[in-house]
Amino acid sequence: MTSHIDTALAFLEETSTDLRDAHRAYRVLMQHSHLTDYFQGGKQVLIKELQSHPKVFPRVPYIGMTTLQEQAYCEWYCTHLYEGAGEVVELGTFLGSLTKSMVNGVRANPRAATRERKVRVYDLFWWDFIMEGCVKGTAYEGMCKEGDWFVEDYKRSIRAWIDRADVRQADLTKFAYDQEPVEFLMVDVMKYEKLCVNVLRQFFPALLPGKGILFHQDYLHFYEAWVHIIQYLLRDYFEPVTPIDGSGAFVFRCTQAVPPDLCTLQAPLKDSWSDALVEEAFAWSKGIVGEENQAVVNAAHVMMYAHLERWEQAEATYNAHAAQFAGHPSVIELRAYFEDRFQRPLPGQ
């Protein structure tokens, strides 16, 4: 089996042109975090270090609601794959774990002009009760309470990186994007229909054809089921690249310009999305995510019918997939959500 070091070397030495391997080489940073210090030394310095079988120095994650793998990927992308032809855009942040990772990468990028780029960050910066659990036991505990605006707290949390971040407080259900085309779009805000509709309309057509990368942070989460339908509808304009290990993220590459007239969904989506479309979309999604992610896509399939308020279809879909679920964490969350939010316990177990 090819090691993460071999994968990274193949990319750096240009002996592999495999798109998936280029994007999965981020795994080298998981066990060799010191390599970040070699980036600005140049490609040959980094290659020499990798060839010497470097000692393991596990990466330490930044505090936030993202995984170590996502942070490593964003740094690797912005260092080695980002060309500076368009913007790096982050939609949805918390304490800046991915902002810091992307800025680290931009700073270390070998292209001088690209190092001058900033990460554009858009968020409402409204403190939700869910955030409390993420900061419990850290220096951020008690920083805010539900309903507070925390943009200034966020800026303090990224103060060592803020020179390369352009931070905008924005309601992304209404926001109109009018900046340069986008080369890297990190999406972590498609939490409900109005956000899905406007993010799709404003940002997807801005992706650079052939270069634009869509980092769907919640593609492999049971709740954000909308994104599976959206990507299916736009399947002719995106190439699936890779899931990000140990996270809910999935990476797509924009292969051709996304026509704005295909990005005009209207809420409520239950008035326009048929059962046939749902079935087609989730069959397609299961075909791209890999065997290890089948259960979470099945859970999202069930959740999609719940979002559309089609309870009989939700239960029938759950029953159809029940044999594969076998206590998967996503399904445990799904069942709890149905019981707590909908007061509709799912059958079985």
**In the chain, where are the structural domains located?**
1-60, 62-262, 288-342
Q: How far apart are the first and last CA of the chain?
A: 38
Instruction: Identify whether the C-beta of residue 191 lies closer than 8 Å to the C-beta of residue 216.
Output: no
CATH number of the structural domain 62-262:
3.40.50.150
Question: 294-307 and 275-286 helices cross at what angle (nearest 10)?
Answer: 160
The predicted structure's pLDDT at residue 51: 95
DSSP letters of 138-173?
Answer: STTTTS--TT-B-HHHHHHHTTTTGGGEEEEE--TT
- Dihedral of alpha carbons 219, 225, 230, 235, sign: positive
The predicted structure's pLDDT at residue 83: 97
Q: Tokens 């919640």 belong to which residue?
A: 218
Distance CA 309, CA 7 (A): 45
List all residues 6 or more positions away from 343 whose beta carbon is below 8 Å from its beta carbon. Answer: none
In which order are the strands placed within the sheet that holds 238-243?
165-169, 119-123, 87-91, 182-187, 213-216, 250-254, 238-243
- Work out whether strand 213-216 and strand 250-254 pair parallel, antiparallel, or are unpaired: antiparallel
Residue type, 4: H
Distance CA 296, CA 328 (A): 8
The predicted structure's pLDDT at residue 253: 98
The predicted structure's pLDDT at residue 349: 52
Instruction: Identify whether the C-beta of residue 117 lies closer than 8 Å to the C-beta of residue 106.
Output: yes
The predicted structure's pLDDT at residue 34: 92
The predicted structure's pLDDT at residue 187: 98
Instruction: Identify whether the C-beta of residue 240 lies closer than 8 Å to the C-beta of residue 19.
Output: no
CB count in 10 Å sphere of residue 305: 21
| DSSP-assigned beta bridge partners for residue 182 | 87, 207
CB count in 10 Å sphere of residue 152: 11
Instruction: Identify whether the C-beta of residue 61 lies closer than 8 Å to the C-beta of residue 97.
Output: yes
Long-range contacts at 132-139 (CB < 8 A, ≥ 24 apart): 134/63, 134/64, 134/65, 134/94, 135/63, 135/95, 138/63
Spell out the per-residue pLDDT of the chain, length 349, in tens: 569 999 999 999 999 999 999 999 999 999 999 998 888 788 899 999 999 989 999 999 999 999 999 999 999 999 999 999 999 999 999 999 999 999 999 999 999 999 999 999 999 999 988 888 888 888 888 888 888 999 999 999 999 999 999 999 999 999 999 999 999 999 999 999 999 999 999 999 999 999 999 999 999 999 999 999 999 999 999 999 999 999 999 999 999 999 999 999 988 999 999 999 999 999 999 999 999 999 999 999 999 999 999 999 999 999 998 877 778 898 889 999 999 989 888 876 5
CB count in 10 Å sphere of residue 147: 9
